[in-house]
Structure 1
Amino acid sequence: MQTTPTARLVVFGEALTDLIRTGENTWLSQAGGAGWNIARVAARLGLPTGFAGAISNDCFGDELYQQSIAAGLDLRFLQRSDKNPFLAIVHETHPPAYFFVGNDSADCDFKPEQLPSGWQDGVEIAHFGSLGLVREPLATQLLELAISLKQAGVKISYDPNWRKLMGPEYLARFEIMLGLADYVKLSDEDLVHLMPDTPVEIALNQVCIWAGQASILYTQGANGLQLIEEGRKQFVPANKVNVIDTVGAGDASMGGWLTSLLMQPQASSQDHARFAAASAAIACQYAGAFAPTLSEVQTLLKENT
């Protein structure tokens, strides 16, 4: 009897559906959500991964479920809820303009006590971030879970992934999560939104102080990324590819980074950062939040060696 490999990475947070306006009277629905995107990327790259979140029992939830199967996610961590779906209404795309629908929706109906028996025995990294740490009661549940897992010796990963719902009050939670995290991904856009009154270099130095000994992947889009460890910065340039759009590139870099850390423990920290950058570059070659395959990432890395 074939058994499901124990999830080495578990991603906590939101899954949602983007309703994107494509014309005056036409809309396109796309499964998404930062947490779910990161989990899907890692699973498609071959890392045993669970997405620990709740989705609705309707057509939107069904699409998320089917795409979770296609990506190879460990479905034992995925919960279904009779509550309404969580939707992001993207009414403008250039530049993006959006709002959320679902104040008491399925994502907030996640129940940690229903996680599979013994799940903590195999998990090596637990990831948190985005709206999962904003929307209550989910946010408080996940913060408590992150603290508990950290105390149990599980590595914590964190990507704030700024969204409009993160007001000034989120800064306190940002500091707490940085203090818990072993791995932090932060984009230049995130930093500007989270600390708008602080010059970027000063803000980044403050992040490093709050994050302590954590490894920080500071991404700057087409300008590449910086890997910051113990005060040392290593630069990794962006890969040159034909960019269709950058939707999901940050999630791809996060998923790629965590996958490399767990699947290539012998690799250098800069190699892990290169893998993250290549994962993001592959995602940029497709419309929407694309999850790259391992062969695609490896091929791009070889081309740029």
Structure 2
Amino acid sequence: MHTPSATSAISTAAAAASGARSAVPCAFPHFVSAGDILTDLVRTDGSHWRSHPGGAGWNVARAVAALGVPTAFAGSIGIDCFSDELWRASEAAALDLRFLQRVERAPLLAIVHETHPPAYFFIGEASADLAFDPESLPQGWMGAARWAHFGGVSLARAPLSATLATLAADLRAHGVRISFDPNYRNLMAHGYRPMLETMAALADLIKVSDEDLRCLFGTDEDTALETLRAMNREATVLVTRGAGPATLITPTETIAAMPPRVEVVDTVGAGDASIGGLLFSLMQRPERAWRDHLAFALASGGAACRHAGAHSPTLDEVVALLQ
């Protein structure tokens, strides 16, 4: 766990970054997440439904932005009522809206017709997310980016999947570090293995849950983890297991830690908050020990669980769980 002096240091650094952002707008974001952005339509009771802005890649962007790093979500949405809400929520999260494109296509919807256990399907055969065009992003933005994140259903939906894999390779060639969270969904049940191997090979950091490992590889967790690590021995891998111990595997060491005990309101988005917290820690305090980075990631996920929906915890919320 962080010592009080360490948490104070990271708080000071983040406050400086946040203050600089509010005083003088950053020319380009330091962190960019490019992945799925969609609307969840969740059945609440019989014929009643509730819509929520969502998408794993978008949640990660909000998580990093909430902690104080200049951030963008790079993707495409429509011009309909659902997309308007995604735009407003992105603006409220202080994401750089120059990276969020709007096109005249239908929105991508995730229809969650059962929640315990989750049962869902997607509507969006030719939806707006598939039209994302990296060539239309602001010129010169790659020079400011330090990390970029990819994952979610976007990498299982052609032609967007190929677009994002190419973008990840271009970013890596420009010296930007790559984070990858497959975030398993049923769209990945068939034909996903080549994309998994491509993105794992490009990644500096891979985040998976125990459920991801079982579903992606169809084997026990240990065998699945070894198969994943064989795709890129130089990548650092974070494995989360809900309330169980998490494991961080670097090329030189393996660290295990328990997440903080919290009163859980909702686990939706906890994994996205965890990887967001880890990325924030790596960007703000790269010199710190891996055990400290892991502690910050788990505290971020724990703080998210204290709220309903995909909550993006603030720095104060995370630090409170570390002290």
Q: TM (normalized to structure 2)?
A: 0.91
Q: Distance in 2 between matches of 1:2 and 1:275?
A: 28
**Structure 2 equivalent of residue 289 of structure 1:** 310
Q: Secondary structure in 2 aligned to 1:92? A: strand
Q: In the alignment, which of 214, 219, 224 is matched to residue 240 of structure 2? A: 219
AA aligned opposite 2:297? A
Unaligned stretches of 5+ in structure 1? none
Q: Deviations over 1:129-149 (max 9, x none)?
A: 111111111111111111122
Q: Deviations over 1:88-109 (max 9, x none)?
A: 0100111111111111001111
Q: Secondary structure in 2 aligned to 1:116? A: coil
Q: In the alignment, which of 266, 270, 282 is matched to residue 245 of structure 1? A: 266
Aligned partners of 2:143 and 2:174 also within 8 Å: no
Q: Distance in 1 between matches of 2:72 and 2:194?
A: 28
Q: Distance in 2 between matches of 1:134 and 1:56?
A: 20
**Structure 2 equivalent of residue 92 of structure 1:** 114
Q: Aligned pair 1:72/2:99, yes or no?
A: no
> RMSD value over aligned CA atoms?
1.3
**Structure 1 equivalent of residue 205 of structure 2:** 183
Q: Deviations over 1:1-46 (max 9, x none)?
A: 9433521111111110000001112111100000000001101111
AA aligned opposite 2:294? A
Aligned partners of 2:142 and 2:174 also within 8 Å: no
AA aligned opposite 2:220? P
- Which contiguous aligned blocks of 4+ residues in structure 1 show a shift greater than 6 angstroms? none
Q: Deviations over 1:102-135 (max 9, x none)?
A: 1100111111111011101100111111111111
Aligned partners of 1:5 and 1:48 also within 8 Å: no
Q: In the alignment, which of 191, 194, 207 is matched to residue 228 of structure 2? A: 207
Q: Aligned pair 1:102/2:124, yes or no?
A: yes
**How far is the alpha carbon of 1:270 from its aligned partner?**
1.3
Q: Deviations over 1:188-210 (max 9, x none)?
A: 000000001x2221221121221
Q: Distance in 2 between matches of 1:2 and 1:47?
A: 13
Q: Distance in 2 between matches of 1:84 and 1:168?
A: 25
Unaligned stretches of 5+ in structure 2? 1-22
Q: Aligned pair 1:270/2:278, yes or no?
A: no
Q: Distance in 1 between matches of 2:24 and 2:235?
A: 37
**Structure 2 equivalent of residue 160 of structure 1:** 182
Q: Distance in 2 between matches of 1:24 and 1:246?
A: 23
Q: Secondary structure in 2 aligned to 1:107? A: helix
Q: Deviations over 1:193-232 (max 9, x none)?
A: 0001x22212211212212111111111110310001153
Q: Aligned pair 1:59/2:81, yes or no?
A: yes
**Structure 2 equivalent of residue 122 of structure 1:** 144
Q: Percent identity?
A: 50
**Structure 1 equivalent of residue 173 of structure 2:** 151
Q: Deviations over 1:244-292 (max 9, x none)?
A: 1211111110111111110122321111111110111111111111111
Q: Distance in 2 between matches of 1:83 and 1:18?
A: 17
Report how many aligned residue pairs link the two structures: 301
Q: Distance in 2 between matches of 1:211 and 1:289?
A: 30
Q: Distance in 2 between matches of 1:156 and 1:228?
A: 16
